[in-house]
Structure 1
Amino acid sequence: MPEAPEPESAQERWNRRYAAGEFSRLPSPRLVELSHLLPHATSRPPGRPLRALDLACGAGRNTLYLLSLGYEVDAWDVSDEGLRILREEVPAGNRDRLRTRQVDLEAGPVDIPPQAYDLVVVTLYLHRPLLPHIRRAVRPGGVVFYHSFYAAGPGLRHRPDHTLRPGELLDTFRDWEVLHYGEDAVRGLATLVARRPPAGTS
């Protein structure tokens, strides 16, 4: 019998999709809608730029939006093809504020620097072992924006390990200030915007 072909890796799968143009160039509508809850230039200490981390950024639709808001952005993804597309799309005036990193977020421990970011953005992606690292990555007074697949209603549309449980984000960030939370059972999406308590608060 012929040998079964090797299963396609996540990097290969996403590289193939991005190379075929299977991605959106528009930022997440929820990120745009809730952008007034994100840290802005007036809230940063003098002389320090706002820093954001876009985890599982894909071809960078949200990264480009964050750059337009004035952030310095670290954009991480498993797909080197997606990151290549992102770098090509970045306007010349914003290139010095973008740092890309090709990394498999599910291959083992990921060295996300602690308290390094004013904002961490995750959309349409869930790998539960990363959640404690995401919490630690946000500076006191900084914000996490999390918008991903949610399990509710008659059945799962995604694998359970890639799907948020009802109330899971609220529980994960239960000691943070929740600026917005919503669960959409019809569309199967949950959204959280939460602020880490400032340093020195209980």
Structure 2
Amino acid sequence: MTDTDWDERFASGEYPRAPEPSPVLRAYEPSLPDGRALDVAAGTGRNAVFLADRGRDVDALDASAEGLRIVRERAADRGIGDRIEAIRADASTYGFPSETYDVIAMSYFHALDRFADLVESLAPDGYLFVEGHLRSASPSQSGPSGDRYRYAANELLRAGLGLSVRYYDETTTERPGGRERATARLLAQKSTGGRQSYPSRPDASERWSTEAVGSTDPDESDA
């Protein structure tokens, strides 16, 4: 999709104005560091508004002016407008600053070629959360129609092995209308050494229950 396509999609309401963050990000958020966060390909603020609402200063990066307008409006409605900085730029070519962010989140934007740049942009001990569509033996009914913007099995995991992996899964979830979505999720920390600190493991109910039932997100299309 082009930037104009996304502007039209956001303006028409085809894409939800207030999509929910990943249940994995939500469940582990209390263990993540405070400070500055980045939402890559922010859209209408799936991660940006959530992280700002939890007290972080957030840079919301997206190529769509309309998406960022909605992010700013949502933040203002919640009284957290001063915590979000909108950055209009293409995540595929943006120059990410070095060792800047304590948390980086990227949902449903396929950019493995930028993975090293995202890691470089993490502050020491910062966390990277990435989720995206998977290729599956049974064609998934959600997400991109082809495999170009889907992760192969273990591809996202291999990309994150330069970090300390705190959580990883590849799973299929049922969505409204009986559709299924195959998704990979990675949470990893920029830390080294044989002795490290580890986040508490959330209860299973906190991890899983919020996505399989009642989600209002449409099929995301990666760019």
Instruction: Answer whether TM exceeds 0.5 for this pair.
Output: yes
Q: Distance in 1 between matches of 2:128 and 2:47?
A: 14
Name which of structure 1's ranges 88-97 and 135-144 shifts more when overlaid on structure 2: 88-97
Q: Distance in 2 between matches of 1:162 and 1:138?
A: 24
Equivalent residue for 2:80? 94
Deviation at 1:70, TM superposition (A): 0.7
Summarize the alignment of residues 128-143 of structure 1 with structure 2, pairs less than 5 Å apart. 128-143=112-127
Q: Secondary structure at the match of 1:64?
A: helix
The partner residue of 1:52 within 37, 45, 52 is 37
Summarize the alignment of residues 146-185 of structure 1 with structure 2, pairs less than 5 Å apart. 146-155=130-139, 158=144, 159-185=146-172
Structure 1 residues without counterparts, runs of 5 or longer:
1-8, 42-49
Q: Secondary structure at the match of 2:47?
A: helix
The structure, 1 or 2, with the larger RCO (C-alpha pairs under 8 Å, 6+ apart) is: 2
Equivalent residue for 1:62? 47
The CA RMSD over aligned residues, in Å, is: 2.0
* Rg comparison, structure with higher value: 1
Structure 1 letter corresponding to 2:163? W
| TM-score, normalization by structure 2 | 0.74
Query: Does structure 2 conserve the Cα–Cα contact (< 8 Å) formed by 1:152 and 1:185?
Result: no
Q: Secondary structure at the match of 2:151?
A: coil
Equivalent residue for 2:2? 10
Structure 2 residues without counterparts, runs of 5 or longer:
174-180, 196-223
Q: How high is the sequence identity, in percent, across the aligned residues? A: 28
Q: Distance in 2 between matches of 1:104 and 1:26?
A: 21
Deviation at 1:164, TM superposition (A): 1.0
Q: Distance in 1 between matches of 2:184 and 2:98?
A: 25
| TM-score, normalization by structure 1 | 0.82
Structure 2 letter corresponding to 1:18? F
